[in-house]
Amino acid sequence: MKNYLIFGAPCTGKGTICKLLQDQNGFKHLSTGDMIRHEIEMGSRIGQVAKKVGVDKGNFMPDNFVSEMAKSHFIIDYPNVESGFLLDGYPRTIAQAKDIASFMFNRKEPFEALIHFKTDNITLLNRMKERALELNREDDTPESFKKRITIYENETKPILEYFKGKGKIIEIDASGTVEEQYALVREAMGIETSFSAIVATGSNGEIGNKNKLLWHLPDDFKYFQEKTMGKALIMGRKTYESLGRMDLPKRHIFLVTRDPNYQLAIDSLDRSGMFKGSKENVTVVHTVDDAISHSKSWSIENGKSEVMVCGGSQIYSEFFNRGLISKVYKTEVNGSFEADSHFPALDLVKSKSSPIHKKDEKHDLEFTFTEWS
């Protein structure tokens, strides 16, 4: 487990980056702001202190309350964390820095590095205004923001000097887009692009028959949409066609086929109006090696760390045989089906399982969403 201190002025984008690292790489994002808002909503003792000191007006809480809150959340969340913790917005003072450094040292879990996001104040103010419009947060006002910047410069920024010589400091240029910042952070943390499989199978691993899907489950398709959104997808020609050449916006498909003329076929369908998708988000490749290299490049350029392998059975087998699949998102459909293609047996451990999705007016089969890693 690798833990990081996330450091920087308000609106550098560090919170968004932390959430991406949480969603895609198994880190736990502990944000001081989120924790305080949670305590206020719960009406806890710490929440009452936060309201009394005027956190919504840009004031900071006393060190002892913030440290108590951060450490308690760390301990509570510890059993469910895969990769490590990202402590964002804490510490904010030298006293808090000494406290958390001692706490982590005693737990024999020192921080891997302090990641410092930095950019100019004009950029930060513009981002605050955008965030205020988007999220309607009470603490995002020009007056509150300027006060927080002043406190950051006077009380928080000196922490950088405190940590010099005590560990690695990673500097991140926060002036770019989220994707650009995410790529910089991933590179600095040594995070490689990972490959995950996503599949729906019957009770015996069935996934298709005669190049057709075995069921129609709208909520399973919503799950597929959710897990693949914004990412690179790798699939074979038959899988692509079994999906009806569906439009999958905000993703990029790397389609593997031996047919040297398949790109021409896509272009022809696009011109005829028969093609539901857009050729702009489909790249035809002719080997799995090409799919791997192109999807990695695309993911780095677009700030993504996970490539989704979508089948069919030969594509799945190729990635499993190479030992490339680190995670599987699997919809387990309750039933046995006639099939000519199957999903490989898993040498992974089920890490998550949803409640059984019962039959209803839109679903004539029961199924469960599971994750394996």
Question: Does 257 share its domain with 308?
Answer: yes
Residue 20 or 340, more confident: 340
Mean pLDDT taken over the chain: 87
Question: Does 241 share its domain with 123?
Answer: no
Q: What is the pLDDT of residue 172?
A: 93
Least confident range of 34-43, 49-58, 67-76, 282-291 = 49-58
Question: Does 24 share its domain with 93?
Answer: yes
Give the tens place of pLDDT for each residue, 153-207.
888 888 888 888 777 899 999 998 888 888 889 889 988 889 999 999 999 999 9
Q: What percent of the chain has pLDDT over 70?
A: 93
Question: Does 213 share its domain with 111?
Answer: no
Q: What is the pLDDT of residue 248?
A: 77
Number of domains in the chain: 2
Least confident range of 182-186, 215-219, 324-328 = 182-186
Question: Does 175 share its domain with 311?
Answer: no
**Residue 124, amino acid:** L
Question: Does 98 share its domain with 37?
Answer: yes
Last residue of a domain, one of 128, 158, 189: 189
Cα separation, 289 vs 291, in Å, equals 5
The CATH number of the domain holding residue 279 is: 3.40.430.10
Instruction: Indicate whether 22 pLDDT > 70.
Output: yes
Give the tens place of pLDDT for each residue, 230-243.
999 999 988 988 87
Cα separation, 204 vs 24, in Å, equals 29
Instruction: Indicate whether 219 pLDDT > 80.
Output: yes
Q: What is the pLDDT of residue 325?
A: 95
Q: What is the pLDDT of residue 203?
A: 96
Instruction: Indicate whether 55 pLDDT > 90.
Output: no
The CATH number of the domain holding residue 112 is: 3.40.50.300
Residue 237: domain span: 194-372
Question: How far does Cα 54 stand from its chain's mean position?
Answer: 32
Choose among 170, 195, 199, 189: nearest CA to 83: 189
Question: Taking CA 42 as the corner, what is the angle to CA 36 and CA 47, rounded to the nearest 5 degrees?
Answer: 40
- Averaged pLDDT for residues 21-25: 83
Q: Give, for 163, the enclosing helix (H) or strand (E).
A: helix 159-163
Q: Report the first-to-last Cα separation within the chain, whole angstroms.
A: 16
Question: Does 198 share its domain with 57?
Answer: no
Cα separation, 270 vs 114, in Å, equals 49
Question: Does 185 share its domain with 225?
Answer: no
Residue 135 or 209, more confident: 209
- Averaged pLDDT for residues 64-86: 89
Give residues with Cβ within 8 angstroms of 281, minimum separation 6: 248, 249, 251, 252, 253
Question: Does 199 share its domain with 181?
Answer: no
Question: Does 287 share its domain with 347?
Answer: yes
Give the tens place of pLDDT for each residue, 35-46.
998 899 999 999
Whether 105 and 71 have beta carbons less than 8 Å apart is answered as: no
Q: What is the pLDDT of residue 367?
A: 98
Instruction: Indicate whether 292 pLDDT > 80.
Output: yes
Which pTM was predicted?
0.64
Give the tens place of pLDDT for each residue, 89-148.
888 888 888 898 889 889 888 889 999 999 888 888 888 777 777 766 666 677 777 778
Instruction: State how beta strands 84-88 and 3-8 pair.
Output: parallel
Question: Does 23 share its domain with 139?
Answer: yes
Last residue of a domain, one of 171, 189, 207: 189
For residue 329, give the DSSP letter.
E
Instruction: Indicate whether 288 pLDDT > 90.
Output: yes
Last residue of a domain, one of 189, 218, 236: 189
- Averaged pLDDT for residues 19-43: 88
Question: Does 261 share its domain with 138?
Answer: no
Q: What is the pLDDT of residue 266?
A: 65
> What is residue 158's three-state secondary structure?
coil
Least confident range of 73-77, 226-230, 273-277 = 273-277
Supply 30's token pair. Answer: 């502990």
Residue 235 or 25, more confident: 235
Q: What is the pLDDT of residue 272?
A: 44
